[in-house]
């Protein structure tokens, strides 16, 4: 009930009450009177009726005025204060006006004090947030500079392997290595396109198990470059501080960082060896000179005194001894250099066997039993490559000789350890089996560029095939260098390594936006896009026109990644109509020696992997790609959005939806049109500007955008 209605009701109740009192007084006065008295009273009343009614009326008016005054003084001020309080919630700088009774005024003053305090606190919090943001921004800038100047490649991923960050060096490493430009490394792409998923999983598993801060492995790229990779997990916020408490630190990683060095040069140029050789020759020159001079003097001056003779012989003996010692030292140093080339890590032998057992069970569906395992044996090896080698042997034994009963054994033999893969019943020729060493290792479709021979050499070991006729068993023996036992490593050191890591990952990078939704239900703003354009010999794909250039850029996290562009000229293997040259400016000379479409499409498909395709007038470009499907077997089945159709959905009353017109309408400057990448960039910028406008129209998900596109009239145009 509004306060005004309350006033009306109050006045009505008061007036009714007063009339009722009067009526009751009249009834009391009139009851029990004789007839004559009644007549007298009636006459009196009749005469005074006007005055009585007047009094009643005045009383009513008085009552109304009293009540209204009370209403204005007692009811209205709190109501107004309540309204002001409501406004104050929206506009924290306003205050309640003092009004009404002193009690109310006290209340209002109290509320105002509360509001002032609240506002001050808000301002302070705001300032603190700003300061924190500024600090974070400064950290981020420092971090960005550090990253870009680093001589190593750096790639940061979340636990799903999505690339969140990489630096210039990493880009250069993989641009060279793949020969496919940017197709392998990019924001939002999977790191498993670069490194074997299992290598990383193995490294992380070891970090968790051993509580070390990082782990190395060596990976070979497709182009045969050797990379030394450091993997370090990134703890979840708050985790780093607790890591010393002895809880399971394996959980609670939000992602990991890989740091990559190209070791190919080190290997190929063997600069370390050269250095050593140079040292050796230079340091030998002096002593050899002494030796030579002494020897020649002895020879040329055979007539010297016995005393001189003795002195020269002493020189010869000393120097020969010195040279021998120096040669020995160099050999030892060289052996150390050889070992340090591979990141060998000390690990418990039984851990390796357990991992091998699991891996063989996993890859080959084979049960492997552990026979005799010396639990005290530590190995200095590259565990992953050894696992690969054992799994590979197990797989071949199984597939080629139907051997199911495999056993593993680990024993120590002085400075070395024996790790045996044993089976019984079947003997094959030594030649056959040892040939396996020299084949590239392939297990269940996964192949490695390395052979078992490479692996044992890398580990400074040996491998051979041996038969034990007495027990009717045969085995592969891996002879591996044992490490001295690890008990002496102080437990504190490991924890310190975890704690001392610098804290530049307070980024918001690690949020996992894999919402598990069907693609059509995902928000446009959360999807990754490849925006592309093609230049062609003409407009009729079905009549023999061909693509001569593809240009594409990526949009990840609503950001246009210009540096992750793809651009490729293509030999159309047909003549170039002169009128088309006027449009795209690409001449036959430029196309000579370029790859044909059949070579380009697989790379382009890798570039667009896991993204939504966007093009202006996409139907045209897609038609060209579809017509190549039969010949190349490459299908582009990613969802497609068309800026032409989206423009028609956004601006139904506009006559033209040409790219230039839309760009102008949306305030996108057009430069370098009619090169494929130039057009792709304009299209991408247009698409980014469209996103909020689409959201205003209620088009938020991919499914909604596709439905809106289909509805537009222009969708019926067919090429």
Partner 1 sequence: MAKTILIADDEPNIVISLEFLLKREGYEVVVAHDGMQALERIRERRPDLAILDVMMPHRNGLEVCQDLRQDPQFKDLRIMMLTAKGRDTEVSKGLALGADVYMTKPFATRELIAKVKALIDKE
Binding region for partner 1 (CB under 8 A): 282-283, 285-294, 296-297, 300-301, 304, 308, 311-312, 315, 318-319
The smaller minimum CB distance to partner 1, of residues 139 and 318, is found at 318
Q: What are the distances in angstroms from CA 631 to CA 385, 390, 601, 627, 634?
A: 39, 41, 11, 8, 8
- If the CB atoms of residues 287 and 538 are measured against partner 1, the closer one turns out to be 287
**From the CB of 284, what's the least distance to partner 1, in Å?**
8
Q: Which is nearer to partner 1, 44 or 293 (CB)?
A: 293
Write down the residue that tokens 């497709």 correspond to.
222
DSSP letter for each residue of 371-421 = EEE-TT-EEEE-HHHHHHHHHHHHHHHHHHH----EEEEEEEETTEEEEEE
Say if residues 189 and 609 touch (Cβ distance below 8 Å). Answer: yes
At how many degrees (to 10) do helices 349-364 and 383-401 cross?
A: 40
Q: Closest distance between partner 1 and the C-beta of residue 148, in Å?
A: 36
Q: Smallest gap, in angstroms, from Cβ of residue 266 to partner 1?
A: 24
Of the pair 38, 310, the CB lying nearest partner 1 is at 310
CB of 334 to partner 1, least distance (A): 21
Residue number with CB closer to partner 1 (286 or 633): 286
| 163, 188 contact by CB (below 8 A) | yes
Minimum gap (Å) between residue 265 Cβ and partner 1: 24
* CA nearest to 564, candidates 579, 552, 576, 548: 552
Q: Can you read off the two tokens belonging to residue 366? A: 């084979």
Query: What are the CA-CA distances from residue 339 to residues 174, 416, 489 (Å)?
Result: 27, 15, 22
CB 456 within 8 A of CB 462: yes
Helices of type H across 570-617: 578-584, 588-591, 597-608
Taking the complex as a whole, the smallest distance from the CB of residue 585 to partner 1 amounts, in Å, to 53
Q: Indicate which residue of 198, 309, 674, 714 is catalytic.
A: 674
Closest of 370, 363, 354, 352 to residue 393, by C-alpha: 363
Which is nearer to partner 1, 321 or 405 (by Cβ)? 321
| Residue nearer to partner 1 on the CB measure, 248 or 282 | 282
Nearer Cβ to partner 1, position 288 or 370?
A: 288
> What does the DSSP assignment read for 657-715?
--HHHHHHHTTPPP-STTSHHHHHHHHHHHHHHHHHHHHHTT--BHHHHHHHHHHSGGG
Find the angle CA(406)-CA(408)-CA(414) to the nearest 5 degrees. Answer: 150
Tokens linked to 30 = 């009139």
For residue 128, give every residue at least 6 positions away whose Cβ sits within 8 Å of its Cβ, in sequence order, or none.
none
DSSP state of 428: -
What minimum distance in Å lies between the beta carbon of 301 and partner 1? 6
Nearest-10 crossing angle of helices 618-627, 643-650: 150
Q: Where are the alpha helices (DSSP H) in 459-545?
A: 491-499
674 is catalytic: yes
- Minimum CB separation of residue 274 from partner 1 in Å reads 14
Catalytic residues: 674
């Amino acid at each position: 009930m509004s306060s005004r209605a309350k006033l009306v009701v109050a006045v009505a109740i008061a007036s009714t009450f007063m009339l009722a009192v009067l009526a009751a007084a009249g009834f009391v006065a009139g009851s029990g009177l004789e007839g004559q008295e009644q007549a007298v009273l009636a006459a009196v009343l009749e005469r005074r009726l006007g005055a009585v009614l007047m009094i009643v009326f005045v009383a009513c008016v008085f009552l109304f005025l009293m009540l209204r005054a009370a209403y204005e003084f007692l009811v209205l001020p709190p109501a107004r204060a309540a309204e002001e309080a409501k406004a104050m919630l929206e506009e924290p700088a306003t205050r309640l006006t003092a009004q009404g009774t002193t009690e109310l005024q006290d209340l209002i003053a109290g509320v105002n004090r509360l509001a002032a305090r609240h506002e001050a606190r808000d301002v302070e919090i705001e300032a603190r947030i700003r300061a924190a943001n500024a600090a974070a921004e400064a950290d981020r800038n420092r971090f960005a500079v550090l990253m870009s100047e680093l001589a190593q490649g750096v790639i940061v991923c979340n636990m799903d392997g999505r690339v969140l960050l990489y630096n210039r060096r990493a880009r250069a490493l993989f641009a060279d290595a793949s020969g496919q430009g940017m197709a392998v490394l990019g924001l939002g792409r999977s790191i498993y396109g670069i490194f074997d998923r299992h290598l990383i999983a193995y490294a992380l598993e070891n970090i968790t198990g051993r509580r070390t801060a990082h782990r190395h492995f060596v990976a070979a790229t497709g182009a045969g470059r050797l990379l030394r990779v450091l993997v370090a997990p990134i703890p979840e916020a708050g985790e780093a501080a607790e890591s010393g408490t002895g809880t399971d630190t394996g959980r609670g990683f939000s992602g990991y960082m890989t740091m990559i060095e190209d070791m190919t040069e080190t290997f190929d140029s063997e600069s370390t060896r050269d250095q050593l050789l140079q040292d050796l020759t230079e340091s030998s020159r002096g002593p050899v000179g002494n030796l030579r001079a002494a020897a020649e003097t002895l020879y040329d001056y055979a007539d010297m005194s016995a005393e001189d003779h003795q002195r020269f012989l002493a020189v010869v003996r000393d120097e020969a001894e010195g040279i021998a010692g120096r040669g020995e030292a160099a050999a030892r140093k060289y052996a150390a250099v050889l070992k340090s080339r591979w990141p060998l890590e000390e690990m418990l032998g039984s851990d390796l066997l357990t991992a091998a057992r699991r891996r063989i069970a996993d890859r080959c569906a084979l049960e492997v039993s552990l026979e005799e395992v010396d639990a005290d044996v530590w190995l200095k090896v590259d565990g992953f490559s050894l696992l690969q080698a054992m799994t590979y042997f197990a797989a071949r034994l199984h597939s080629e000789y139907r051997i199911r009963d495999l056993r593993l054994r680990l024993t120590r033999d002085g400075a070395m350890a024996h790790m045996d893969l044993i089976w019984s019943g079947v003997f094959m020729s030594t030649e056959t089996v040892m040939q396996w060493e020299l084949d590239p290792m392939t297990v269940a479709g996964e192949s490695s560029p390395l052979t078992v021979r490479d692996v044992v050499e890398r580990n400074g070991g040996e491998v051979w095939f041996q038969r034990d006729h007495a027990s009717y068993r045969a085995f592969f023996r891996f002879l591996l260098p044992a490490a001295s036992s690890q008990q002496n490593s102080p437990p504190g050191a490991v924890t310190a390594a975890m704690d001392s890591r610098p804290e530049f990952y307070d980024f918001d990078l690690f949020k996992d936006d894999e919402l598990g939704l069907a693609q059509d239900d995902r928000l446009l703003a959360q999807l990754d896009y490849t925006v592309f354009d093609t230049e062609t010999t003409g407009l009729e794909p079905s009549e023999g026109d061909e693509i001569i250039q593809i240009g594409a850029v990526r949009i990840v996290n609503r950001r246009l990644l210009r540096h992750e562009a793809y651009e490729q000229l293509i030999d159309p293997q047909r003549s170039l109509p002169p009128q088309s040259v006027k449009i795209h400016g690409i001449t036959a000379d430029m196309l000579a020696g370029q790859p044909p479409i059949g070579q380009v499409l697989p790379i382009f498909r890798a570039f667009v992997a896991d993204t939504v395709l966007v093009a202006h007038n996409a139907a045209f470009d897609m038609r060209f790609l579809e017509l190549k499907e039969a010949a190349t077997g490459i299908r582009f089945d990613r969802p497609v959005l068309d800026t032409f159709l989206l423009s028609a959905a956004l601006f139904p009353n506009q006559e033209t939806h040409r790219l230039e017109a839309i760009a102008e309408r949306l305030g996108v400057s057009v430069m370098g049109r009619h090169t494929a990448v130039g057009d792709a960039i304009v299209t991408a910028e247009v698409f980014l500007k469209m996103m909020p406008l689409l959201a205003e129209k209620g088009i938020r998900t991919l499914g909604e955008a596709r439905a809106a596109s289909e509805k537009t009239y222009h969708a019926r145009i067919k090429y």
